[in-house]
Amino acid sequence: MNTARPRLLRHLPAGAATLLLAACANPQGELRVAIPPHAAPASRSALAQAPAQTIEVPPFREPAPSGPPGRIGERKSLGGVTASAVAIDPPPGRLLRDAFAAELTAAGHRVAASAPGSASISAEVGSFALRTDVNTPYWDVTLDATIAVTARAGERSAVRGYTAQCRERSLAWPGEEGIRKVVGNCVDALARQFRDDITLARVLGAP
């Protein structure tokens, strides 16, 4: 009988191979990962160049979910076998809305879910998709994210698009910590593009 172990298993830490083989045989359903709030930096941004004001930021739109709210992808184990779905809490639309609202607040503005007559920031999440790829002896956890943002103030308006691709590499099967990190990195990257967008800031009244 052939007892040779797959090449990937020989590179993994002790005990990890057993867990992975078990995951292949017994899919775990869904891994739900809690994502902490985005922390907007105190450094001056393009948004801070606009006069302090109340800005309406309604809930961000996102594609209709193909599964439970917050589902963004799946984890795969050996041989490309799906071991579990991955979901985040809060879901992408709320996560990004809260991150962009934090950037506006850090820039000196007041944020309201509804403020008729005020400047507004609305957005639609285009994609927020996570995948795991096996590249012996590593796992690559990759998140691709896109969002379209519309700023309006009186007769001025602008539509801006931001994209981010974030990747974490690990010798261990992707778990909550690695997924939380890659999601956080992409949220930070999108929020950074938002706060540094002078075109959007000029809609809000920046010189």
Q: Count other C-beta atoms under 10 Å from residue 191's C-beta.
A: 24
Residue 17 above 70 pLDDT? no
- Asked whether residue 164 is assigned to any structural domain, the reply reads yes
Check residue 22 and give its pLDDT: 39
What type of residue is 96?
Answer: L
Within the chain, what is the greatest distance between any pair of CA atoms? Answer: 76
Check residue 26 and give its pLDDT: 40
Check residue 1 and give its pLDDT: 42
- Asked whether residue 155 is assigned to any structural domain, the reply reads yes
The residue with greater pLDDT, 4 or 129, is 129
CA distances from 124 to 37, 52, 120, 142, 194 (A): 19, 25, 14, 21, 14
| Across 54-70, average pLDDT | 90
Residue position matching structure tokens 């379209």: 148
Tens-place pLDDT, residues 111-167: 999 999 999 999 999 999 999 988 878 889 999 999 999 999 999 999 999 999 999
Q: Please count the structural domains in the chain.
A: 1
Decide if 142 contacts 183 (C-beta within 8 A).
Answer: no
- Asked whether residue 169 is assigned to any structural domain, the reply reads yes
The residue with greater pLDDT, 78 or 54, is 54
Domain assignment of residue 90, given as a range: 49-64+72-203
Tens-place pLDDT, residues 168-177: 998 888 899 9
Check residue 28 and give its pLDDT: 58
Task: State both tokens at 203.
Answer: 């809609």
- Asked whether residue 162 is assigned to any structural domain, the reply reads yes
- Asked whether residue 12 is assigned to any structural domain, the reply reads no
- Asked whether residue 148 is assigned to any structural domain, the reply reads yes
- Asked whether residue 43 is assigned to any structural domain, the reply reads no
CA distances from 116 to 9, 56, 58, 104 (A): 59, 8, 11, 18
- What's the chain's average pLDDT? 87
The CATH number assigned to the domain holding 113 equals 3.40.50.10610
Q: How far apart are CA 207 and CA 195, in angstroms?
A: 15
- Asked whether residue 35 is assigned to any structural domain, the reply reads no
Residue 8 above 50 pLDDT? no
